[in-house]
Amino acid sequence: MKPETTRFAPSPTGLLHLGHAYAAIFAADTARASGGRFLVRMEDTDRVRSKVAFEAEILDDLRWLGLWWEEPVWRQSARVADYLAALERLKGLGLVYPCFCTRKDIEAEVAQAAGAPQGPDGLLYAGTCRVLGDEVRQARMDAGASFAWRLDVARAASLAGALSFEETGAGPQGEHGVIAVDGLTYGDVVLARKDGVISYHLAVVVDDADQGVTLVTRGHDLFASAHVHRLLQALLRLPVPRYRHHRLILDANGKRLAKRDDATSLKVLRAQGETPEGIRARLGVTSR
């Protein structure tokens, strides 16, 4: 087995629950079993929702679980210059465009377009701002209109050519092995929001490359995003990790655990006297 570098990348916008515990243990155990490195990264690009207090609790919970990681813990909030540099490269390739649409505009378009194509996160953006002329764009910018940056995925996919990624676990439909990339999966994804926040998709590929992550482990819910990530890796000429998506931990009703639902938070379970071994047993992962 070759040594793998894995990471656990929580957003410090709430407490860890059993689903996060599973993801963290999965990543740490995978790295450890291969004799590799386990990293922790705080995905705190959203400065409004991210809280330093949550970050401290997350690290405390991870230590309590018996996990250890290579220091330092990276924070995405400290890496904005690198993300902006990547965005500039994509601009230089003529692959991004400013999108002035408001949420209302997008909803109205969607309501009009019966049978509009669906993506993993809902209806796909219709591309209204993709076709604006340079003069219109400039005039709107000059008038101070706020805008997001979107990736022109059709153009990006044709520039990148045929791509694939390697799934060493399984996607939600049991997808496994070499997966052909469908770069259009999410439509023209936002890379930088109107408020300047860099999107998850862009930040994650830049970080995984800069941290030398060789095996991305995470839940099924993020399987579809690997298509966009692989496309961005090709455009930015980044090294390509392999992927291992894993099952999600569900509640008694078969629903995904949510951050707002405190009942399964590690903090509450710890206060109730649960042990790290007990957590592993609940999650069906063998103790080390």
Give me the least distance between CB of 9 and ligand GLU, in Å please.
Answer: 4
Residue nearest to ligand GLU (CB): 218
Residues classed as catalytic: 259
Nearer to ligand GLU, 43 or 152 (CB): 43
Lay out the site mask for ligand GLU across 222-261 (x = CB under 6 A, - = otherwise): x---------------------------------------
Return the number of the residue (107 or 121) whose C-beta is nearest ligand GLU. 121
Per-residue interface string for the shown chain with ligand GLU, residues 145-174, x marking contact by CB under 6 A: ------------------------------
CA dist list (Å): 248 to 29, 70, 94, 170, 257: 17, 25, 38, 12, 9
| Closer residue to ligand GLU (CB): 11 or 185 | 11
- Residues numbered 30 to 59 that lie near ligand GLU (CB under 6 A) are 43
Query: Contact with ligand GLU (CB under 6 A): which of 10, 19, 98, 183?
Result: 10
Q: Least distance to ligand GLU from the beta carbon of 96, Å?
A: 21
Q: Which is nearer to ligand GLU, 151 or 217 (CB)?
A: 217
Instruction: Name the minimum Å distance from CB 114 to ligand GLU.
Output: 33
Q: What is the bridge-based pairing of β-strands 122-123 and 118-119? A: antiparallel
Report the alpha-carbon angle 15-70-225, nearest 5.
Answer: 60
Binding footprint of ligand GLU, residue count (CB under 6 A): 7
Instruction: Indicate left, alpha or beta for 171 from its phi (over 0: left) and psi (-120 to 50: alpha).
Output: beta
Within 10 angstroms of residue 169's Cβ, the number of other Cβ atoms is 19
Query: From the CB of 5, what's the least distance to ligand GLU, in Å?
Result: 13
Residue 10 CB, shortest distance to ligand GLU, in Å, is 5
* By the rule CB under 6 A, 197 interacts with ligand GLU: no
Q: Which residue in 204, 209, 234, 266 binds ligand GLU (CB under 6 A)? A: 204
**Binding footprint of ligand GLU on the chain (CB under 6 A):** 9-11, 43, 204, 218, 222
